[in-house]
Amino acid sequence: MRFKLFLWIVIAFLCTPYGWADEIQWVRRLQIAGKHPATPKSVMDNNGNLYLVTTTGSIYGKDGNTEVEPDVLLVKYAPDGTMLWQKTFGSNGEDESTAITIDNNGFVYITGTAPRNFISNNDADKVFSGSNRDVFVMKVSGDGDAEWTSMFGTDDDDSGEAIFVTPAGEVYVAWTYRYNSNPFSLVSKLDTHGKRVWTERVSIKNLMTNLGVIAVASGGDVFVGGYCLPIKKPDESGKIIISTSDPQAGCIAKLNVKNGKVWEKILGWEIANLIPNDKGGVFMSGSKERGVEFVAEFSASGDILWSKFIKNNGLVHHDFNSMVKENNNLYIFGWTDDQFPGEKKMGGIYDSFLAKFSTKGDQVWIKQLGFTQQDIAWSGASANGRVALVGEVENENDSNKDDIFVKMLLDTK
C-alpha cells in the first residue's frame, strides 16, 4: 500500500506541468506611495543583484489624501532577495522613468522624462529646452549614487523611451517629442561622461514615429523600432484627435553614426523589443495582432530570418523592453487572460507568463506564473541561469491599489 501511494505521488509530480513551484527561489512584494506604480523595469548584474526602477505611483501620498508629485524610485535586491537599498531621484514636479540598462561594470543607466529641476548630483550635460519636460539620462553606481545626469530636449515636451549601453560605456537613447500632439523620434549618443556627441531625427516613410526600443550591434550600427502612424493635422480649433482605429504599423530603422540612416522597414507587427545578435542583426519581439505576440530574428540587411508566435485562446501581451537574452536563450515576460497548454490560470483577470525560446527560434517552454490576485509582468532580467519576473500585482487588502512584485526563478529546464 505504501509503495502504491509513493508511486502515485511520483506520477502526480511528473504530470504536474514542469514543477514550476520548485524552481521559484523567492518572491517579494513592494508597496510604494500611490495607488498605481508606473510600469517597473529591471536589470540584473553578473553577480545576480537585481535592480528595478519605477515611478512612485500616483499623486497621492501614503495617507491616500496628501497630493505629492511622482519621483523616480530605484531599488536593489541581493541574489537571496534581501533588499539592499532604495533610492529616490526627482524634482518638485512629475518625474517618470521609462527604461533601464546595465553595463559590464555594474553601473545602471536610467532614462525617462522630468522637469528641468530634476535633482541628482554630478550633472554632466544639462542643456534645457524651452519646454516644461526634457529627456533625462542618469548613470548610477551599484551603491545607488548618481555618477552623472544628462538632460536635453526640444522646444516641445520630450521623453526618453529606451536606452542601450555598449561594452565601451557609450550610451544610446531613443527619445520622442510631440509637436501638435504628433510623436516624433530621435536617437542620441552620449559619451562615457554623459555628454551628447550625436543626435539624429528618425523619419520613416514620412510617418509620425513612436520608437520605444533600441539596440546597438557590435559593429556600431544602431537599430530603433516601435510603431508608426499617419501624421495628423489640427482642426480649426487647433485640436488633434487620434482614433484607435487609425492604421498602426510596426517600423524599424537601421542607423549609422557616420552615415545616418542605412535602411527603414514598415512591418505589419508592432516592435516592442530589440536585442543584438552575433551577425550584425537583431532579435525582436512585439505584437502581431491583438492577443498574439511574436518573437523573430532580423538580419543586418533587414530580412526576417525566422519568426514564432506566442498565443492561446485569449489575450496575450508583453510590453516594451520586456525581452532579455542569456547565452543561446531568449526570455519574454508578459501577461494573459487565458491559459497556455499544460498551464493553470491562477486568478484575477490577468496572469503573468514567462516564455523561453532558443536563439534559433525553437520554443522551449511557456510558464504561467501568476498570483491569486491579478498581476502583470512588465519586465524581467536574467543572469547565470536565474530569471526574475518584475511587474504589478493587486494589493492583497485593497483591490484599488497595486504593489510591485519580483519572482526569482532558477531555470533548470
Is the pLDDT at 161 greater than 90? The verdict is yes
Q: Look at the chain and count its residues.
A: 413
3-state secondary structure of 21: helix
The pLDDT, as a whole number, for residue 32 is 79
Residue 238 is assigned to a structural domain of this protein: no
Instruction: Over range 252-268, report the average pLDDT.
Output: 91
In degrees, to the nearest 5, what angle opens at C-alpha 225 toward C-alphas 219 and 231? Answer: 135
Question: For 301-357, what is the HEC assignment?
Answer: CCCEEEEEEECCCCCEECCCCCEEEECCEEEEEEEECCCCCCCCCCCCCCEEEEEEE
The pLDDT, as a whole number, for residue 285 is 97
Query: What confidence tens digit (pLDDT) does each residue in 131-160 have?
Result: 578 999 999 999 999 999 999 988 888 999
Instruction: Over range 60-70, report the average pLDDT.
Output: 52
Residue 11 is assigned to a structural domain of this protein: no
How far is residue 263's CA from residue 205's CA, in Å, rounded to a whole number? 11
Instruction: Over range 164-177, report the average pLDDT.
Output: 96
**Does 170 or 13 have the greater pLDDT score?**
170
Give the start-end residues of each E strand in 153-291. Answer: 158-165, 171-179, 182-190, 196-202, 208-216, 222-229, 249-256, 260-267, 270-276, 282-289
Query: What confidence tens digit (pLDDT) does each residue in 359-399 have?
Result: 999 999 999 999 999 999 999 999 999 999 999 999 888 87
Nearby residues of 267 by Cβ (< 8 Å), 6 or more positions away: 249, 250, 251, 252
Instruction: Over range 298-302, report the average pLDDT.
Output: 95
At residue 259 the predicted structure's pLDDT band, cuts being 50, 70 and 90, is confident
At residue 238 the predicted structure's pLDDT band, cuts being 50, 70 and 90, is very low
Is the pLDDT at 244 greater than 50? The verdict is no
Query: What confidence tens digit (pLDDT) does each residue in 81-132 have?
Result: 999 999 988 777 788 899 999 999 999 999 999 886 665 555 555 554 555 7
Nearby residues of 359 by Cβ (< 8 Å), 6 or more positions away: 277, 283, 297, 325, 328, 329, 330
The pLDDT, as a whole number, for residue 80 is 98
How far is residue 396's CA from residue 178's CA, in Å, rounded to a whole number? 38
Residue 401 is assigned to a structural domain of this protein: yes
Q: State what percent of residues in the chain have pLDDT above 90.
A: 62
Q: State what percent of residues in the chain have pLDDT above 70.
A: 82
Nearby residues of 302 by Cβ (< 8 Å), 6 or more positions away: 252, 254, 263, 265
3-state secondary structure of 89: strand
Residue 17 vs residues 105, 146, 149, 264: alpha-carbon distances, Å: 38, 44, 47, 42
Domain that holds residue 34: 26-231+246-410
Q: Cell for 279?
A: 551577425
Residue 91 is assigned to a structural domain of this protein: yes
Q: Which of 41-50, 114-123, 156-165, 196-205 has the lowest mean pLDDT?
A: 114-123
Is the pLDDT at 280 greater than 60? The verdict is yes
Mean pLDDT for all residues in the chain = 85
Residue 241 is assigned to a structural domain of this protein: no
Q: Cell for 100?
A: 533601464
Is the pLDDT at 190 greater than 50? The verdict is yes
Q: In CATH, what number is assigned to the domain containing residue 211?
A: 2.120.10.30
**Does 156 or 183 have the greater pLDDT score?**
156
* Residue keyed to cell 519636460: 133
Q: Name the strand (E) or helix (H) holding 2.
A: helix 2-15
The listed range with the strongest mean pLDDT (14-23, 103-112, 395-404) is 103-112
pTM value is 0.87
Residue 261 vs residues 154, 221, 227: alpha-carbon distances, Å: 21, 10, 17
Can you name the residues that pair with 138 across neighbouring β-strands?
110, 149
How far is residue 255's CA from residue 232's CA, in Å, rounded to a whole number? 26
Instruction: Over range 311-327, report the average pLDDT.
Output: 95
How far is residue 52's CA from residue 170's CA, in Å, rounded to a whole number? 21
Q: Helix, strand, coil proportions of the chain in percent (round to 5)?
A: 5, 55, 45
Can you name the residues that pair with 283 across neighbouring β-strands?
275, 297
The pLDDT, as a whole number, for residue 54 is 93
How many domains, in total, are found in the chain? 1
3-state secondary structure of 20: helix
Is the pLDDT at 277 greater than 80? The verdict is yes
**Long-range contacts formed by 268-272: CB under 8 A, 24+ apart:** 269/294, 270/226, 270/227, 271/213, 271/225, 271/226, 271/227, 272/212, 272/213, 272/226, 272/318, 272/319, 272/320, 272/321, 272/322, 272/323
Q: How far apart are the first and last CA of the chain?
A: 33
Residue 357's nearest CA partner among 314, 328, 321 is 328
The listed range with the strongest mean pLDDT (36-50, 148-162, 179-193, 349-363) is 349-363
The pLDDT, as a whole number, for residue 93 is 74
Residue 48 is assigned to a structural domain of this protein: yes
Q: Which of 41-55, 113-127, 295-309 has the lowest mean pLDDT?
A: 113-127
Residue 221's nearest CA partner among 159, 176, 263, 163 is 263
Residue 264 is assigned to a structural domain of this protein: yes
Residue 8 is assigned to a structural domain of this protein: no
